[in-house]
Structure 1
Amino acid sequence: MKAIVPSQTPSMDSKLSPVFGRCPYFMLVEIEGGKVVGNTAVPNEAANQQGGAGVAAAQAAHDQGATTLIAGTVGPKAFSALESFGIEVYDSTSGTVQENVDAFLQGKLPKANPGSHAGFLKK
């Protein structure tokens, strides 16, 4: 499986980016048998778009083969796009990309729903 994580710098030791659509980088993390077997930094080409950055970032995640996103804030259109691509979204914690991947592998991150993200209005 491949997980994608919004990152402030191109490193597993980077702090998570607080936003998905306009993050500077994605860390694409390859996981096999419950262990990280590789990672690649991918610049987010949607970061400076005038509009639609979240949907473009969701498309990029899909194009990279991601099946899981670990993030803190995902807007409603991006969340819908991710769902349509079959990408599961998990709520991140504060900390680094590596810390969040470890928490995901340990089953400590909750699966997200639209109301759990700051990009959504909670009713």
Structure 2
Amino acid sequence: MKIAVASSGDDIKSEASRFFGRAQFFIIAEIKNGKIEFFKSVANSATSESSGAGIKAAQLIANEGVDAIISTAIGPNAFELLNNLNIKIYKSTQGSVEENLKLFNQGKLQEVTSPATTRGRRGGRIL
């Protein structure tokens, strides 16, 4: 299974990002038999977009062929795109990317079934 985690840094030890569309990086991890087989860092080119960052980030993730994303909050447009592509969404917890992946493996992360409704800090848009 291929999992993407919104991250504030380019390493598995980095903190999970509070944002999806404006996360600095996504850590893509391949999980087999409950273990992280490998991971790679993908810079999020959508961070500097004036609008549509969530959709662009969702497209980036989809192009990586992931099965699931772990993030704090995903806006309605990105949520719909990920849902249409059958990419499951799980709510991250405070901590590192690695900690979130371990919690995912243990079945301790909540699956997200609706988009975020709270507003982000950038001009009132959902991040």
Q: TM-score, normalised by structure 2?
A: 0.89
The equivalent residue for 1:7 is 7
Q: Does 1:17 align with 2:17?
A: yes
Q: Which stretch shows the higher mean deviation, 107-116 or 73-82? A: 107-116
Deviations 1:58-106 (A, max 9, x none): 1111100111001101111111111011100001111110000000000
2:66 paired residue number? 66
Q: Percent identity?
A: 36
> How far off its partner does 1:33 sit?
1.5
Q: Which runs of 5+ in 1 are unaligned?
A: none
What is the total number of aligned residue pairs between the two structures? 120
Could you tell me which residue of structure 1 aligns to residue 87 of structure 2? 87
SS in structure 2 at match of 1:83: helix
Q: CA RMSD in A?
A: 1.5
Q: What residue is the counterpart of 2:52 in the other structure?
A: 52
Pairwise CA distance, 1:23: 0.6
Q: 2: distance between equivalents of 1:28 and 1:117?
A: 26
User: Residue 5 of structure 2: SS of its match in structure 1?
Assistant: strand
- Residue identity opposite 2:45 in structure 1: E
In the alignment, the residues of structure 2 paired with residue 60 and residue 93 of structure 1 have an alpha-carbon distance, to the nearest angstrom, of 22
Shift of 1:32: 1.1
Q: In the alignment, what sits opposite 1:26?
A: 26
